[in-house]
Amino acid sequence: MAAVELAWLACDLLTGAVAEELPSLHPTQALSRHLGAVTALTADLYLGGAPREWESATDPGRTMVVAVDTATGDPLWCGLTLGRDGGSGTQVRLSAATPEAWLDRRYTGTYSATATDQAAIMAAVATPALASGPPIVMATTPTGISSDYSIADGDDRTILSVLQEISGLSGGPEWTIEPRWADAAHTRVELVLRIQAAIGVQSPQPDAVFELPGCVSEYALSESYERGRGATSVTARGDRADGVRATSATHTDTGLLAAGWGLWEYRWTPAQGITATDQLESHAAEALALMGTGSRAWSLNAVASRSPRLGSAWGLGDSVRLAVASSPRHPAGVDVVARAYAWTLDPAADRVAPILLEDA
């Protein structure tokens, strides 16, 4: 399989139109993406190889940079240009953040819904971000789970914070923003805001297999029962209203207690502004389901040119298989299927590193 080579494009923020190619742009770190979260990147643009109009093509606040896999032609990563630093040196340093950052700079306004599908609520909350901004298009799939939800403009909540809050409810939808070509001629990029029960393709027998020995150079299993990662009893607390602080019931996993686990308690506030008890109950139920037995995350370092190809064989949210013949940690080997909740890609080092989480 060919090594991963990236072509960097400078695009207009509002239209996604490709303005310039940036052959002398070199990231100073690996690219990364994470479900429902912002990731950032810094890169050096060497002026000796930059196009004549590089300055207007990389203006912070009105441009974005896109990384395209030259072998497949697929956009793999997009970042809104937020910073540019340079002077007497031969290069300028650009800083960019994935399009989720746009949602942290836009506010929800006032919104209220009753008995509405959670995916539809998230889409409605995100709608203000479609105006006067990047070329975001919605791709929403109903989840079948309905909720009541209300928010006031005076709460000063960003769209990002609300999407993350609703995603954290019991059965809450997952979401991400991914770049794709807007036209067959590849002259414009658009950003797809996907909201659905689970992002990606989940399968008990995924096609993407990472093997050791094979493409995997090293792996690690991280198991944690630290605060916020493990608990057998959970209570969600909200804000005060009329002198009373909203709170959920205490959700306790009696099955785990009977099986010999201790009573590990966890109390937290999922987000500011919550006063509805039903929302707190949903947060508590989801937290207990996720934390009852703690977290198990698999981190892999693999040779990108020998691995299943990111963007075509697998992507964010997809099921991935790790097959280890033998290792000091697993002398009898291990064969596990887990979901890629995040990834990093370093083409210069020929390295791809999915982060796999086992569902509770």
- Residues 109 and 189 grouped into a single domain: yes
In a domain, 311, yes or no: yes
In a domain, 1, yes or no: no
DSSP 164: H
In a domain, 203, yes or no: no
**Tens-place pLDDT, residues 79-104:** 999 999 999 999 999 999 999 999 99
- Residues 216 and 309 grouped into a single domain: yes
- Residues 257 and 331 grouped into a single domain: no
In a domain, 202, yes or no: no
Those residues whose C-beta lies under 8 Å from the C-beta of residue 321, and which sit 6 or more positions away, are 205, 206, 208, 209, 210, 335, 336, 337
**Tens-place pLDDT, residues 236-275:** 998 887 778 999 999 999 999 999 999 999 999 988 778 8
In a domain, 322, yes or no: yes
Task: Give the pLDDT of residue 360.
Answer: 56
Check which CATH number belongs to the domain holding 177 and give it.
Answer: 3.55.50
In a domain, 118, yes or no: yes
How many structural domains are present in the chain? 4
Chain position carrying tokens 């992507």: 315
Residue ending a domain, among 97, 116, 146, is 97
Looking at mean pLDDT, say which of 236-240, 243-247, 276-280, 308-312 comes out highest: 308-312
Q: How far apart are CA 120 and CA 117, in angstroms?
A: 5
pTM of the model: 0.91
Residue 20: which domain range?
6-97
**Tens-place pLDDT, residues 313-336:** 999 999 999 999 999 999 999 999
- Residues 219 and 299 grouped into a single domain: yes
Those residues whose C-beta lies under 8 Å from the C-beta of residue 170, and which sit 6 or more positions away, are 281, 282, 283, 285, 286, 289
- SS3 (DSSP) at 246: strand
In a domain, 160, yes or no: yes
- Residues 325 and 213 grouped into a single domain: yes
